[in-house]
Amino acid sequence: MEIVIICIAAFLTSILTFFSGFGLGTILAPVFAIFFPIDIAIALTGVVHFSNNLFKIALIGKNANKGVLLRFGLPAIFASFAGAWLLLRMTVLPALFQYQLFEKNFEITPVKLIIAIILIVFSILEITPALEKVQFGRNKLVLGGILSGFFGGLSGIQGAIRSAFLIKSGLTKEGYIATGVVIACLVDFTRLSVYAQRFTTANLHENVTLLISATLSAIIGAFIGKKLLKKVTLRSIQLIVAVMLILIAIALGSGLI
């Protein structure tokens, strides 16, 4: 059942990634978290996200802006390493609280609580009208790279911050999308190199079919998204997804998943 749910989520969100404010990792990580420990869920999501971005680079990578890549991408790489390192350190911390519900034991861990808070904050940012148009000039690209990379490494969530900083960097629509994809790919590669030590405990070999299926679903979604590429506002979808993310975050933070 989990392979069906994850593949559907990967397919649909990969399509939306091309023209909505939500990224593949933002939605897919919580879905993985329903079936895997949160740190492993983030790592597995990273594999799918990275593979999908490689495919996107093949589609539109030639439009990426080298200047923006250097000013935003390099800081993002170093910050991503720091965020991924912090995630692994948090996974070994003891539970903050334990409780019993319906004769089943649950525990609230630091990593689950922090990821839950990040999910809620970014979900609210995505649907708050006053914050939707918050943008930063080209002179803030380094800061944007640091913030986007750090939260990408820590939680897999980087798209919202990256968009806010790149949208006013003077790029064409194609350049904006392509540059964002390349940066996301760089961050994914960096954090996956840090997560690699956890793949042995994640029984990655037992989840190869799941990863391949989810990756292919995301690639198909990306191909369809490329065909549909245009400026579209999906406000209702944003609201629905944001509510779902908040509910998942509450379940994650309370130790229910």
User: Is the pLDDT at 128 greater than 80, yes or no?
Assistant: no
Say which residue, 151 or 251, is predicted with more confidence: 151
What mean pLDDT is predicted for residues 232-246? 62
pLDDT of residue 233: 47
Higher pLDDT, 202 or 255: 255
Instruction: Give pTM, 2 decimals.
Output: 0.71
Report, as an integer, the average pLDDT of 224-249: 63
pLDDT digits (tens, 9 = 90+) for 33-71: 777 777 777 777 778 878 877 887 887 788 888 888 888
pLDDT recorded at residue 133: 59
- The yes-or-no verdict on residue 105 having pLDDT over 50 is yes
- The residues, any chain, with a CB within 8 Å of residue 138's CB and separated by 6 or more, are 68, 168, 169, 170
- Which tens digit of pLDDT belongs to each residue from 133-184? 555 566 778 888 898 889 888 877 777 677 777 776 777 777 887 888 888 8
Each residue of 201-235: pLDDT tens digit? 656 666 678 778 888 887 787 777 666 655 444 55
Q: Which of 201, 250, 224 is nearest to 10 (CA)?
A: 224
What percent of the chain is modeled with pLDDT above 70? 75
- The pLDDT value recorded for residue 80 is 92
pLDDT for the residue numbered 21: 45
The residue type found at 181 is: V
Return the closest-CA partner of residue 47 out of 221, 248, 148, 196.
196
| Dihedral over Cα of 112, 118, 122, 124: its sign | positive
Split at pLDDT 50, 70, 90, the class of 238 is low
- How confident is the prediction for the chain on average, in pLDDT? 76
Question: What confidence score (pLDDT) does residue 134 get?
Answer: 58
- What pLDDT is recorded for position 239? 67
* pLDDT tens-place string over residues 5-17: 788 777 877 776 6
User: What pLDDT is attached to residue 40?
Assistant: 76
**66-92 residue pLDDT tens:** 888 888 989 999 999 999 888 888 877
CA distances from 125 to 71, 83, 116, 164 (A): 25, 20, 14, 11
